[in-house]
Structure 1
Amino acid sequence: MLRRMLLVLMMVGLFVGASGMAGMARDPALEGTLEIVNWWTAGGEAEALAALFGVLADWHPRVSVINATIAGGAGIGARAVLIARILGGRPPGTFQVHAGRGTIDPHVIPGHLEPVTFLYEEEGWVDVFPRALLDMLRFEGEFWSVPVNIHRSNVLWYNRAIFARHGLNPPTTFAEFFQAAAVLKAAGVVPLALGETWTVVHLFETVLLGALGPAAYIGLWNGTTNWAGPEVTAALNTFNRMLNYVNEDWAALSWDEAAGLVVDGTAAMNIMGDWAHGYFMGRRWTPGVDYGWVPVPGSGGSFQALSDSFALPRGAPDRQVVLAWLRVVGSKAGQDAFNPIKGSIPARVDADRTLYDAYLVSAMDDFARDAIVPSMMHGAAASPAWMHDIIEAVSFFAVNRDVATLQRELVRAAADAL
């Protein structure tokens, strides 16, 4: 851990010192306190946030930070706390949000946020953030948050030693997945590590993408794909079959505890976003040596995307300090300090690729050429109300395993939302 934190500090010094923009943005006289609500508590996440705080401290040494973390993957726990504080007239300085519907529906439409379009103009971000991301961030002609990264959610991670021991190749189709899973299960290895409810929903949406393809998957969220159709039924049956190969204690594990089963050799595979890459590195695993990755079966050529971003609440305390933080978040120095540790790719297209490892360079290349599709579980594809209905239906299904009931509930949820 000490070695990793020293690496973080060295990287911060390198990034800040090398950035011309950093010199322009520094204001040693700025004073105040930044309270930042976020859910980054797992391995890799906390160290990455510390690196970003390091850039802020270098630019604005008289600004103090209150790191108000709320545990719970995908921001499940943080959302309720944030809404309660905002409605009670006690917004934090800033908070983590997922770009897309996860920002627009709960915060922009009710009037909780100030637009930050002026920052995009001052900092030239329209020229350095990719169009697909800008489209997620824009609503009614304004930008409402500043992205620090882009994550890919449709990734299958695997323990290379286990696969080699059993003569297996990483599966790229569902048929290959089930063949490998049968071999692993017969050998006493858990084929697929799974965690708490939101990770089940994460698995569910990646299976939808792999089974339907990008166009039909996007159609689920805009009404052009019928949730009652036979292709969705087939996808749900595939999802149901995959649950036969997960660890029995899945409901008791957090996402990182489930990923830990792959590290300790209890399980062979985990389907999780590439924040798992940051977690694996935090466990001193080497990418391409200890673990490998492929797109979720059937989803090659698609990049299921989400973006962590930070917003400017109306009535935020120490507003100038919040604006300074948002400039750090969107800067090249900040993103190149944060993302190599977090396991995500930078939101900016002008990042220094030499700072990123083999997985992250491959993810950058895939983002540039693949079909970009939004993640529902992580706030990009569906409203929070629709997402809640899906989470409820899938969590009930994980217990009763009734495909017909699940599909009926998904049809109902879509009818209510569209």
Structure 2
Amino acid sequence: MAGLLGVSACGGDKPAGQATGGGETKAATTEVEVFSWWTGPGEADGLKAMREIFEKQNPNLKFLDAAVAGGSGDKAKALLQTKLQGGEPPDSFQGHAGAELQGYIKAGQLEDLTSLYDELKLKDVFPAQLVEQLSVEGKIYSVPVNIHRSNILWFNPGVLKEAGVAGAPKTIDEFIAALGKVKAKGKVPLSIGSEWTVTHLLENVLLGSLGTDAYNGLFKPGANWGAPEVTKALENFKTIMSFAGDPQDDWQPAAKQVADGQAAFNIMGDWAYGYFHNPPDGGLGKTSKTDFDWAPAPGTEGTYLWLSDSFTLPKGAKNREGALAWLKVAASKEGQDAFNPKKGSIPARKDADASLYTDYLADALKDWSGNKLAGSIQHGVSVSQPWLTAINEQVGLFLGTKDVAALQKGLADAATANAQ
């Protein structure tokens, strides 16, 4: 899980917008373009909360929200590549911590933010393990604003009770049995969204079938994706997918099927909590433990399948000083405590106000400190962007063919071509 987040060198002590030489720079009066994929309920609310802090602290700067819709950022990343290749980078863009940023770093498209880490003493407030995973050859290229958990099973207690399922299934076999019971009652056993949510499901089934060490081993050079235990995991994936309902447009409508009692289960990251829980102007306004509940995805209890959203400083940013001002808010205790409770994530900082993190988020804080760690595939920790693209292509083909052998060969070929 090569770490690839970072903050910019040249933070300095001068306020954002002040010129490096004499006189003033345009940065004091220009827009700061922040590129993300946070457009849905919960995530957009969290971004708005950080934006308000930014604008209060930097009254001469105008925040330009350049968010592109589409869960997990697939559409945003495609547009971002076009902007970067065209020499028109945003001032800062969202990226997942881990291997996802490798391509940008190797292409020389990101500034080293180690000086900003030193200026803000971020190595003292971020967990040492996280800093280590963010570092690439001793440099850091992004600022993490949160920690998310990928391996969460969301479920509707009423639907489970109606189907005679006593509680959240703890193993893959128990999960498959529960899906069958729900199907017999005429409800959707498992809701899914667009194609990326199926890759998200796949990483959870791989972890739940293989265990933490074997799962993490898949991303090391020479890993055997053709092993019998991987075959078994992919057979489990095929069986589970046979209980999936009609694909929804994205993760939110799939999650809503659970909250509304139309579906029993949904495996999604913990950003879904903000969507379930937040008031109706930014979420569904549902009651936890009644309208929805959660547990580790089947077979993954004791492991935190993690990812982290971060922001970068692209080389050639039009408003570099404004971007640095944004990164300082993203890194701050105030910014992270404003953002994460609404987003449905926990802070990357160790000194955040724990009283703000209740209900599901209290569970997440506790588990993050004591669980084993595994890196998400879909969300950029364990695989590079080209590797993820190859995996998503194989998942897309599998949705049409349901051919486990072809899927396994495709995944093995992707690993051979991309593992380093």
Question: Which residue is 2:22 aligned to?
Answer: none
Give 2:199's aligned amino acid. V
TM score, norm. by length of structure 1: 0.91
What is the distance in 2 between the residues matched to 1:73 and 1:298? 25
Map 1:91-106; keep pairs closer than 5 Å: 91-105=89-103
Alpha-carbon distance, 1:130 to partner: 1.3
Give 2:140's aligned amino acid. F
Aligned: 1:219 with 2:217: yes
What is the distance in 2 between the residues matched to 1:153 and 1:73? 13
Alpha-carbon distance, 1:289 to partner: 3.0
Say if 1:276 and 1:343, in contact at 8 Å, map to a contact too.
yes
What is the distance in 2 between the residues matched to 1:287 and 1:356? 14
Give 1:153's aligned amino acid. S
Query: More helix by proportion, 1 or 2?
Result: 1
Query: Among residues 39, 45, 70, which one is paired with 2:68 in the alignment?
Result: 70
Give 3-state SS (helix, strand or coil) of 1:95's partner: strand
What is the distance in 2 between the residues matched to 1:28 and 1:59? 12
Alpha-carbon distance, 1:253 to partner: 2.2
Map Cα deviations across residues 136-160 of structure 1 (whole Å, 9 max, x no partner): 3111111100011011001100112
Map Cα deviations across residues 68-119 of structure 1 (whole Å, 9 max, x no partner): 11111111011121111112111111111111111122x1110001111111
Alpha-carbon distance, 1:191 to partner: 0.9
Question: Which residue is 2:386 aligned to?
Answer: 385
Give 3-state SS (helix, strand or coil) of 1:195's partner: coil
Question: Which residue is 2:3 aligned to?
Answer: none
Map 1:48-127; keep pairs closer than 5 Å: 48-105=46-103, 107-127=104-124
Alpha-carbon distance, 1:209 to partner: 0.6
Give 1:138's aligned amino acid. S
Give 3-state SS (helix, strand or coil) of 2:242's partner: helix
Question: Which residue is 2:354 aligned to?
Answer: 353
Question: Which residue is 1:257 aligned to?
Answer: 253
Q: Which runs of 5+ in 2 are unaligned?
A: 1-12, 19-27, 278-282
Deviates more, 1:349-358 or 1:25-34: 25-34
Q: Provide the aligned length of Structure 1 versus Structure 2.
A: 392
Question: Which residue is 1:280 aligned to?
Answer: 276
Question: Which residue is 1:397 aligned to?
Answer: 398
What is the distance in 2 between the residues matched to 1:413 and 1:376? 13
Say if 2:154 and 2:292, in contact at 8 Å, map to a contact too.
yes
Give 3-state SS (helix, strand or coil) of 1:112's partner: coil
Say if 1:154 and 1:303, in contact at 8 Å, map to a contact too.
yes
Give 1:170's aligned amino acid. A
Map Cα deviations across residues 184-240 of structure 1 (whole Å, 9 max, x no partner): 101011111011110001100111011111111010000364111111011001000
Give 1:266's aligned amino acid. Q
Identical columns (%): 45
Say if 1:157 and 1:270, in contact at 8 Å, map to a contact too.
yes
Question: Which residue is 2:417 aligned to?
Answer: 416
Give 3-state SS (helix, strand or coil) of 2:218's partner: helix
Say if 1:216 and 1:225, in contact at 8 Å, map to a contact too.
no
Deviates more, 1:167-176 or 1:268-277: 167-176
Give 1:44's aligned amino acid. G
Give 1:244's aligned amino acid. S
Say if 2:164 and 2:181, in contact at 8 Å, map to a contact too.
no
Map 1:7-22; keep pairs closer than 5 Å: none
Kindly tell me: are residues 369 and 25 of structure 1, through their superposed partners in 2, closer, same or farther at Cα, counting changes over 3 Å?
Answer: farther
Question: Which residue is 1:318 aligned to?
Answer: 319
TM score, norm. by length of structure 2: 0.90
Question: Which residue is 1:10 aligned to?
Answer: none
Alpha-carbon distance, 1:161 to partner: 2.1
Alpha-carbon distance, 1:28 to partner: 10
What is the distance in 2 between the residues matched to 1:116 and 1:288? 42
Question: Which residue is 2:308 aligned to?
Answer: 307
Say if 1:93 and 1:322, in contact at 8 Å, map to a contact too.
yes
Aligned: 1:193 with 2:191: yes
What is the distance in 1 between the residues matched to 2:85 and 2:17? 34
Say if 2:153 and 2:295, in contact at 8 Å, map to a contact too.
yes
Map Cα deviations across residues 237-289 of structure 1 (whole Å, 9 max, x no partner): 10000011110x21x52111111111221101100011111111210012233
Aligned: 1:271 with 2:267: yes
What is the distance in 2 between the residues matched to 1:137 and 1:347? 12
Say if 1:36 and 1:65, in contact at 8 Å, map to a contact too.
yes
